């Protein structure tokens, strides 16, 4: 008789735990033995006694936490079965970032796949996702709503290049997560024929060097020298998302604020961040790919770790697949993390600029077919000059 799935994998405060092999997967607190799917800091933390991961993920952890990030490390070769206690584990490419892997755990004829974070879209900086048939599929749901359909990344990169051509006197500051997204954007720019240097915020440097050392061609990527920021008219600069509105970006010539993220699909999100050029480029699966992947694994049961669990669970249920949310905490802190915070002020986030500050007309009452809307259309403030 096959083992029950919960005998193979359970939930503990540290994260997913396999009692038969005595190891955790992507634990959020230090444990004896950790198997790590990929190098993002919410999945790969330091301080475990022993860590098993792909060679690239181990290198990434070394760069981020120092070489002593764990008591001992063991490289997991891709697609090879490894015996741990009473289970067999196997790492397969997840297509998320360099070195990212899904982990299949098999015991007593039951196979569970912990997919970590994954995507199906093309990415020149990492191996593509491979479907691993299984009985139980454990998936994230960061973009688990049918409104999230990521467009072709080439089109998004072209938007950036078109804008750089139209506004050659301005610097384009692209917010992108330091591991994965930043390098993917660089690689995509190169694929689209962009040959000029791509300038990097200091926080991007070491991981980008690591990607280059892994033979991913990213071209010339000088670090931004603080004193020379004002000379970077026409340049494309990549920085961590937190820096796009930081003091750091202030000295660039008339910066165009760009942000490469799946969240940019929703306009309100982009506006909230003050983004002027949203680039819908995600390292996670969109809704269609989440649904497609679940069906391709043939899993009869799906566990949803984090993200928009409810909608994905609903979809599974209506498609005859058993599903439950795990409501796991501590994930989504890096990469395309959900940022909470809606301002509490009445009318915040709406435009208050019509007629130089009359408070009442809001975007709600400012319809184009409003008979008197034209009267309120005083010329908008010229070019946002600093008064």
Partner 1 sequence: MNRFAALLDRLGYEPRRNAKLRLLTDYFRHTPDPDRGYALAAMTGALMFKEAKPGLIRGLVEERTDPELFRMSYHYVGDLAETVALIWPAPGHDAAAKVDGTPTIGHNNPPPHVPTLTEVIETLATTSKSDLPARVAGWMDALDETGRWALIKLITRELRVGVSARLAKTAVAQLGQIEPDEVELVWHGLEAPYEDLFAWVEGRGPKPESGNPAPFRPSMLSHPLEDEDFAKLEASEFLAEWKWDGIRLQAASGHGSDGRPVRRIYSRTGEDVSRAFPDLVDALDFEGAIDGELLVVREGRVQSFNVLQQRLNRKAVTPKLIAEFPAHLRVYDILFEGEEDLRSLPFAERRRRLEALVARLDDPRIDLSPMVPFTTWEDLAAARADPASVGAGPDADAIEGCMVKRANSPYLPGRPKGYWYKWKRDPYLVDAVMMYGQRGHGKRSSFYSDYTFGVWRDGPGGEELVPVGKAYHGFTDEELVKLDRFVRNHTVKRFGPVREVEYGKDKGLVLEVAFEGLQRSTRHKSGVAMRFPRINRIRWDKPAAEADRIETLEKILERGEKEVHPLKEDQAERPGKKRKEA
Q: Is 145 in the site for partner 1 (CB under 8 A)?
A: yes
Nearer Cβ to partner 1, position 55 or 292?
292
Give SS3 for 175.
strand
User: Which of 1, 213, 226, 387 is the binder for partner 1 (CB under 8 A)?
Assistant: 387
Q: Is 49 in the site for partner 1 (CB under 8 A)?
A: no
Least distance in Å: CB of 229 to partner 1?
12
Q: Is 298 in the site for partner 1 (CB under 8 A)?
A: no
Nearer Cβ to partner 1, position 324 or 370?
370
Which residues, other chains included, contact 325 with Cβ-Cβ below 8 Å and sequence gap of 6+? 303, 304, 309, 310, 313
Q: Which stretch binds partner 1 (CB under 8 A): 44-52, 85-93, 292-300, 329-337?
A: 292-300
113 forms beta bridges with 104, 137
Which residues, other chains included, contact 124 with Cβ-Cβ below 8 Å and sequence gap of 6+? 184, 187, 188, 191, 216
Specify whether the CB–CB gap between 117 and 38 falls below 8 A: yes
User: Which of 101, 200, 270, 316 is the binder for partner 1 (CB under 8 A)?
Assistant: 270
Least distance in Å: CB of 255 to partner 1?
7
Find the helix or strand (DSSP H, E) in which 174 lies: strand 172-175
Least distance in Å: CB of 282 to partner 1?
13
According to DSSP, residue 177 is labeled: -
User: Which of 10, 268, 327, 329 is the binder for partner 1 (CB under 8 A)?
Assistant: 268
Find the helix or strand (DSSP H, E) in which 322 lies: strand 322-325
Nearer Cβ to partner 1, position 193 or 367?
367
Nearer Cβ to partner 1, position 213 or 345?
345
Nearer Cβ to partner 1, position 109 or 168?
168
Nearer Cβ to partner 1, position 79 or 319?
319
Can you read off the two tokens belonging to residue 258? 């760009």
237 forms beta bridges with 173, 199
Q: How far apart are CA 130 and CA 95, in angstroms?
A: 8
Map 68-137 to HEC letters: CCEEEEEECCECCEEEECCEEEEEEECCCCCCCEEEEEEECCEEEEECCCCCCCCCCCCCCCCCCCCCEE
Q: Is 384 in the site for partner 1 (CB under 8 A)?
A: yes
Footprint on residues 72-101 left by partner 1 (CB under 8 A):
none
Nearer Cβ to partner 1, position 273 or 306?
273
Nearer Cβ to partner 1, position 56 or 336?
336
Find the helix or strand (DSSP H, E) in which 33 lies: strand 33-35
Q: Is 169 in the site for partner 1 (CB under 8 A)?
A: no
x/- mask, partner 1, residues 190-219, rule CB under 8 A, reads: ------------------------------
Footprint on residues 321-360 left by partner 1 (CB under 8 A):
339, 341-349, 351-352, 356-360
x/- mask, partner 1, residues 217-246, rule CB under 8 A, reads: ---------------------------xxx
Which residues, other chains included, contact 120 with Cβ-Cβ below 8 Å and sequence gap of 6+? 95, 128, 129, 285, 289, 292, 293
Can you read off the two tokens belonging to residue 279? 């680039």
Binding residues for partner 1, rule CB under 8 A, total 90
């Amino acid at each position: 008789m096959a083992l029950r799935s919960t005998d193979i994998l359970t939930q503990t405060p540290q994260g997913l735990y396999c009692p038969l092999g005595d190891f955790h997967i992507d634990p959020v607190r230090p444990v004896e033995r950790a198997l790590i799917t990929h190098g993002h800091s919410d999945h790969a933390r330091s301080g475990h006694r022993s860590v098993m991961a792909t060679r690239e993920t181990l290198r990434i952890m070394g760069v981020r936490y120092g070489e002593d990030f764990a008591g001992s490390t063991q490289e997991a070769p891709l697609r090879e079965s490894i015996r741990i206690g009473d289970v067999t584990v196997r790492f397969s490419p997840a297509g998320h970032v360099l070195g990212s892997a899904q982990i299949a755990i098999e015991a007593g004829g039951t196979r569970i796949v912990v997919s970590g974070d994954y995507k199906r879209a093309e990415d020149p900086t990492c191996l593509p996702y491979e479907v691993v048939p299984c009985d139980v599929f454990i998936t994230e749901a960061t973009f688990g709503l049918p409104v999230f359909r990521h467009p072709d990344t080439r089109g998004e990169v072209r938007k950036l290049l078109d804008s750089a051509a139209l506004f050659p006197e301005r610097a384009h500051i692209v917010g992108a997560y330091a591991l994965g997204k930043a390098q993917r954007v660089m690689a995509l720019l190169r694929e689209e024929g962009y040959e000029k240097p791509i300038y990097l915020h200091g926080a991007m440097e070491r991981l980008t060097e690591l990607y280059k050392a892994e033979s991913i061609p990213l071209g010339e990527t000088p670090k931004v020298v603080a004193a020379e920021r004002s000379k970077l008219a026409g340049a494309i600069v990549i920085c961590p998302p937190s820096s796009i509105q930081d003091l750091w970006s202030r000295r660039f010539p008339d910066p165009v604020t760009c942000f490469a993220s799946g969240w940019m699909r929703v306009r309100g999100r982009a506006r909230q961040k003050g983004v002027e050029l949203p680039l819908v480029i995600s390292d996670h699966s969109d809704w269609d790919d989440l649904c497609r992947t679940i069906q391709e694994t043939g899993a009869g049961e799906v566990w949803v770790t984090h993200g928009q669990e409810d909608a994905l669970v609903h979809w599974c249920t209506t498609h005859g697949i058993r599903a439950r949310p795990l409501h796991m905490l501590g994930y989504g802190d890096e990469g395309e993390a959900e940022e909470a915070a809606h301002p509490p002020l009445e009318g915040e986030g709406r435009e208050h600029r019509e007629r130089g500050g009359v408070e009442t007309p809001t975007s709600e009452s400012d319809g184009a077919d409003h008979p008197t809307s034209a009267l309120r259309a005083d010329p908008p403030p010229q070019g946002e000059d600093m008064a």
